[in-house]
Amino acid sequence: MSMDNEKQKDEIIALESIYNKEEFSYHKENDQYECTLKAYVTLPKDYFFTYKDSRRPEDPVESVPISHLPPLSLFLTLPLNYPSESPPKFTLVSSWLSQYVLAKLCKKLDLLWEENKGLEILFTWMAFLKDETLEFLNIETSLGINSAYTFYKMNSEATQNAGNISEFKGDKTEVNKDPKSKNMEPSIDVRKSVIRKTTHEKHPTKKRGKKQRTRKFVDQRAISDRLIGINPVQMLLDYDLKRKQTEFKRNFYMCKICFLDKLGDHCTQFVPCFHVFCKECIFTYLEIRIKEGNVKNISCPEDKCLSEATPGQVKDLVSQELFAKYDATLLSVTLDTMTDIVYCPRPHCQYPVSREPNDRMASCPACQYAFCVYCKMVYHGIEPCKFKSAEKEKLVTEYQNAPDEKKVQLEQRYGRKQLQALVENTMSEHWINTNSRHCPHCNAAIEKSDGCNKMVCWRCNTYFCWLCGTRLRADTPYVHFRSPQSKCYNMLFHGVVPEAGQDDEDDLDFPALYLDYNSDDEEFNNEDFVIEFDL
C-alpha cells in the first residue's frame, strides 16, 4: 500500500469522526475515493438577505431575516497521487451564489492547496467554506439576491407572454398540444423567441447583425444550482424553516410543564414565543380542551403567553379521531361567530347556509330546504313569525325591556302590530287575573268593585265567596261567613275599603250587631232583620 493511499485513508477516518453523515460522505470507485462535503455556512445573529427587481429602480429594497443558508456542496475525487503531488479534483455547487462568485471561491481553494501542497487539504477547505466564506465575499451582514430575483421575474413574465402569444393578431406560431388534455402550451422555440424579444426591447440601440462580444471564461468547476421558475426568495425561506426544524429536533430542551429534559424530536414549540414543551404534556393539554369543546384560541400553556397552537401543530400532536373532532368543533365555533351564516334546521342536515344580512329567507344548498332565518320554519313570506303560547310571557318581557335596536329586530321577525297587540293582551290578562275571580260554576270572570265578599255571578247567578271561591247556597249565602268552622269566619267585609267620610263608629257598630247574633236552630237572613233606632 502506497504512502498516499495511507494518508487518504487516515484523512477519511478523521473527517468521519469530525463531521456527521449529513456533512461528509464517501465511497470508493475505481480505487479512488469519491467524497461529498457539505459546508453549512455559519451566519451571524440578525443576518438577512435583500432583494428587488433591478428593472424597477423606484421599488424599495425588501429585507428578510434569515438564520440558515443552503450548504455549499463540494464534490471531490482524490487522485492516486494525492496529497503528495496532485490536488483533489472538485466541483463546487451552490443554490444561492452565482457562477461568477463561486469561481472566486474555487480560485481561493486552489490558493489554499498551493499554500499547503503535499498535505491533506480537505479539512482546510471545509473550514474555510464554513467559517470564512461570508468574509471572503464581503457579505458578512447581508446577502443580496437582486440579480437572481430579477432573472426569476423576467423568466416568469416571458413564460406568461409565451403562453399568450397565440392570441396575437396574425400569429402563426405552432403550439404543443397534449392529447390527454385540452391545455395548450407554447413550444420551446416560442419561449426562446419571447426571451430574445424581451432582450432586444431592453437594448433598443443594439443591432441584431452586430457581432456579440465573446463571453468571459468562467471556471467550469463552479456550478450555480438555481432552478429556473423557482422564486429564490421563497426557496431561501423554505430552506431556513426546514433547517430550523432539523436543528430543533437535534437539541435537548426542558419541558416547562413536567420539568424533564427531552430531545427536541419529542417536543413541540409554540410560535412566535418559542416556548418549548414535551409532546406528552401538550397532548394531554390539547385532549382536555378538545373534549370540552374549547378549541378556539388554544394558547401556549406558559403563564400570560398570547401565542396560539396552529391547526397543523394540533394535527401533528393528537390522534386522527381527536383532530377530526377538533376540526369539526373549530369550524362550528367559527361559523357561529359569523353573522351571515345560519344552520339548516333539519336535524338530519344541519348544513351551514350563507345568507344576506337583510334577507329573511335562506335556502340550504345540501337539502334544498327554504326556511325563515328567524323561526327556522318553512319560509312564510311577509307573514310574521308565529310564536308558541309558552313563549308569550318571555317574548313580551324581552320586547318591553329591549333597547331600540333589539326592538327593531323583534318587530322585523314578529311584526310590530302583532307585538303591540300581544303586549296589550298580556297586560289585560294580568289585570284580569289580579282584579277578578272566576265563577265556580261557569268560570265567568267577575270583577269586584265594592260591597261585601258574598258574590253573585252575572252570568248564571251562582253565589260564591270572593275570598276562597267556595260556592254558597242561594237561600243562606251568609252562613259561610258566620260559621266558626268556616275559614272565612267573620270575614264578610274583609278587605273592603271604607268610603270617604264614613263614620268609623258606624263601621264598627252595624256589623257587630248581626255578628253577635247567633242561633243554631233558626236561619238568619239580614235582609229580613230590621233594627229600629229611636233618635
In this structure, the number of other CB atoms found within 10 A of the CB of residue 155 comes to 16
The C-alpha atoms of residue 421 and residue 528 are separated, in whole angstroms, by 50
Nearest partner of 62 among 70, 71, 51, 72, judged by Cα: 51
SS3 26: strand
The C-alpha atoms of residue 506 and residue 357 are separated, in whole angstroms, by 72
The C-alpha atoms of residue 507 and residue 304 are separated, in whole angstroms, by 77
- How far are the Cα atoms of 35, 454, 489, 490 from residue 482, in angstroms, in the given order? 123, 12, 5, 6
Over its C-alpha atoms, the chain yields an Rg (Å, rounded) of 48
Q: Determine which one of 452, 457, 460, 468 is catalytic.
A: 452
Question: What are the beta bridge partners of residue 472?
Answer: 463
The C-alpha atoms of residue 382 and residue 130 are separated, in whole angstroms, by 77
The C-alpha atoms of residue 88 and residue 26 are separated, in whole angstroms, by 14
Q: Is 442 a catalytic residue?
A: no
Which residues are within 8 A (CB) of 342 and not within 5 positions of it... i.e. 6 or more apart? 352, 353, 355, 362, 373
Nearest partner of 529 among 518, 521, 453, judged by Cα: 518
The C-alpha atoms of residue 246 and residue 275 are separated, in whole angstroms, by 17
The C-alpha atoms of residue 98 and residue 75 are separated, in whole angstroms, by 17
**Active-site residue numbers?**
452
